[in-house]
Amino acid sequence: MLHHIQLACPPGSEPVLREFYAGVLGLAEIPKPPVLAARGGCWFRGHDIELHLGVETDFRPARKAHPGILVRETTTA
C-alpha cells in the first residue's frame, strides 16, 4: 500500500502549491509535524492520495519525473 508521494518544491512556493493542490485539485492541506513544518513545504490529502511537498533550497525541476493524478470534472449546483 502506498502511504504518500514526496515531491520537491522551491523555497517560497507554498502559496502557489496551496492554490493548485487545494484550490484546483480539491486536496485538503494537512498539518506537518512541528519539527518538519519549520522546513517549509506543505502536505495534502484527498482522493485516496497523500502528497508531501518539501522545500529544496537548490531546487531544479525534474526533466521527466512527475506524479500522474487522475481527476474527474465536478460541477457544483
Q: What's domain 5-55's superfamily in CATH?
A: 2,3-Dihydroxybiphenyl 1,2-Dioxygenase, domain 1 (3.10.180.10)
Question: What Cα–Cα distance (Å) separates residue 39 from each residue in 14, 25, 34, 56?
Answer: 12, 24, 9, 9
Using DSSP's 3-state secondary structure scheme, residue 23 falls into helix
Asked whether the predicted pLDDT for residue 77 surpasses 70, the reply is no
Asked whether the predicted pLDDT for residue 76 surpasses 70, the reply is no
pLDDT for res 66? 82
What confidence tens digit (pLDDT) does each residue in 19-45 have? 999 999 999 999 999 999 999 999 999
Q: In the sheet where 28-30 sits, what is the strand order?
A: 5-9, 49-55, 42-46, 28-30
H/E segment holding residue 9:
strand 5-9
